[in-house]
Amino acid sequence: MTAHPSGAPLSEGRPARLRDAASIGPVEWLLGRSVEEFATTSWGREPLLVTAQERKSGFDDLFDDDAVDALVSEHGLRTPFLRVARDGTTLPNRDFTAGAGVGAGITDQVDDSRLTGLFADGATLVLQGLHRTWPPLVRFVAALADELGHPVQANAYVTPPQSQGFDDHYDVHDVFVLQVSGEKEWRIHRPVLESPLRDQPWTERRAAVARAAKEPPLIRTVLRPGDCLYLPRGYLHAATALGDVSTHVTLGIHAWTRHALAGEVVQAALLSLADDPQIRAALTVGVDVGATEDLGSDVDLVRDRLAAALAEVDAQAVALRLATASRAAGRPSPVGPVSQLRAAQHVRDDDRVRLRPHLHAGLEARDDGGANLQSRAGTVRLAPAEVSAVRALLEGGECSVAELGSELARRLLARAVVVRVG
């Protein structure tokens, strides 16, 4: 069995670019083929099913049924980290939550007694945001997102025997379906809308989805433990548990699209138009903004100026805007505040530190010769004398405290930008 590339434990880890070249990446572990092969043959195009026999591995080290029981009964889980669905309908939170007891002041904590009754009656449990609540998936999802270059989330669907949690539908994100336990029959149909955007959900096309679902499926298959199914966004699907409880994890890939890129280009153009006094000027007094004849000349002017501004948009400016969005779409590897503070307090020149994994850090120069270190851990202002050392850290991923300087090392440890090695 091949161990999964789930990253490193708390406060440890190496940047993706420093991994052993012989180690297996998340995509290859899931699909048994390289990320390059997946990108050219399946990504955004066609479904792909890889069996446990082909993968030579299960998913127990990522998630299992014991994890389900632990999360809902011992971890103080609250909504929206859990949804419950039955017969295609999501149940109200009050059906499976209650107060947390003396001293907590929480009213929406999962009630495992109510949940057990609902599950026994055929309800599906949907554990949401596992990339935030279950450590093996926290690490694996972060590694997968770095490899794909697109944000990733993780949900689990736990279905009683012979039950179906949701009707035929499509997702607005690509998915990897990881069958953890039990068996589920999947029925997959071609899209009614190819590559839907996030604001084009299946609920806006219920009639078309219902008609398509009545046609013979493109794929009808039973997923068994260790099987992995890739579905591009838009493909219709529904799943029914068979003879036992069935648990699968869905890794949702929220792909950056050219439509999103277009939005950033337009926003950059609009920002530049703010410097044009004619564009800032008010429309005429008494204008009827709903009348074409009142707006015609103004629309022509704006269209011309906007077209010119679009032609001048700098790709670097767009990349900077998307870098900010990318940082907000994910989180760095977990760190412990106590261990970080102790490391900062007792730092020595011969200690070594490395960048916190999945930090997505970069330098933005300032006019005073200094720079701002931007990352998922926030912004750290660097003096001019500190910039070269931090640039070397970003390029190499690791350095000694002496190379940074003890005061800067303490600051970066306290701000959770670096972690101590060893």
Which whole number is the average pLDDT over 221-247?
94
pLDDT in tens, 173-197: 999 999 999 999 999 999 999 999 9
Residue 11 lies in a domain: no
Instruction: Verify that 66 and 114 share a domain, yes or no.
Output: yes
Q: How many CA atoms lie within 13 A of 39 on its CB side?
A: 8
Shared domain for 187 and 287, answered yes or no, is no
Residues spanned by the domain of 51: 16-253
pLDDT in tens, 214-223: 999 999 999 9
* Residue 278 falls inside a structural domain: yes
87 and 182 co-located in one domain: yes
Cα–Cα dist 257/255, whole Å: 6
pLDDT tens-place string over residues 17-71: 333 334 789 999 999 999 999 999 999 999 999 999 999 989 999 999 999 999 9
Judgement on whether residues 194 and 310 belong to the same structural domain of the protein:
no
pLDDT bracket for residue 12 (50, 70, 90) = very low
Cis peptide upstream of residue 80 (ω within 30 degrees of 0): yes
Say whether both 236 and 265 belong to one domain. no
What's the confidence (pLDDT) of residue 18?
34
**Of 220, 236, 253, which residue constitutes the final position of a domain?**
253
Within-domain flag for 7: no
Is the Cα dihedral 401, 402, 404, 408 positive or negative?
positive
DSSP-assigned letters across all residues of 245-298: -EEEEEEEE----HHHHHHHHHHHHHHHHTT-HHHHSPPPTT--TT-HHHHHHH
Report the pLDDT averaged over residues 60-83: 94
Q: Is 310 found in the same domain as 293? A: yes
CATH number at residue 86: 2.60.120.650
Q: List the one residue out of 336, 375, 381, 379 whose CA is nearest residue 358.
A: 375
Given pLDDT bands bounded at 50, 70 and 90, which one contains residue 5? Answer: low
Average pLDDT, the chain: 91
The C-alpha atoms of residue 374 and residue 323 are separated, in whole angstroms, by 10
Question: Which of residues 220, 253, 286 is at a domain's end?
Answer: 253
| Closest CA relative to residue 422, chosen from 334, 332, 321, 353 | 353
> What is the structure's pLDDT at 241?
86
Rounded CA separation 322/362 (Å): 13
Tokens of 317: 């400016």
Confidence tier at 161 by pLDDT (50, 70, 90): confident
In a domain, 145, yes or no: yes
Place of tokens 């190379």: 403
* Dist CA 231 CA 91 (whole Å): 26
pTM: 0.88
Q: Are residues 158 and 95 in the same domain?
A: yes
Residues 181 and 233 in one domain: yes
The radius of gyration of the chain's CA atoms, rounded to the nearest angstrom, is 25
pLDDT computed for residue 19 by the predictor = 37
199 and 52 assigned to the same domain: yes
- Ranges 15-24, 127-136, 205-214, 394-403: which has the least confidence: 15-24
6 part of a folded domain = no
Segment 95-125, tens digit of pLDDT: 999 987 777 778 889 999 999 999 999 999 9
Whether 8 shows a pLDDT value over 60: the answer reads: no
* Cα dihedral sign, 208-209-214-220: positive
Q: Is residue 90 part of a domain?
A: yes
183 and 37 in a single domain? The answer is yes
In a domain, 280, yes or no: yes
Question: What is the percent of the chain with per-residue pLDDT over 90, rounded to a whole number?
Answer: 84
- CATH code where residue 354 lies: 3.90.930.40
Asked if residue 276 and residue 147 are part of one domain, the reply reads no
224 and 130 in one domain?
yes
Which of the listed residues 253, 272, 307 is the one where a domain comes to its end?
253
Backbone angles phi, psi at 295, to 5 degrees: -105, -10
Is residue 69, in this structure, part of any structural domain at all?
yes
> Considering its fold, how many domains does the chain have in total?
3
- DSSP H or E stretch at residue 210: helix 206-213
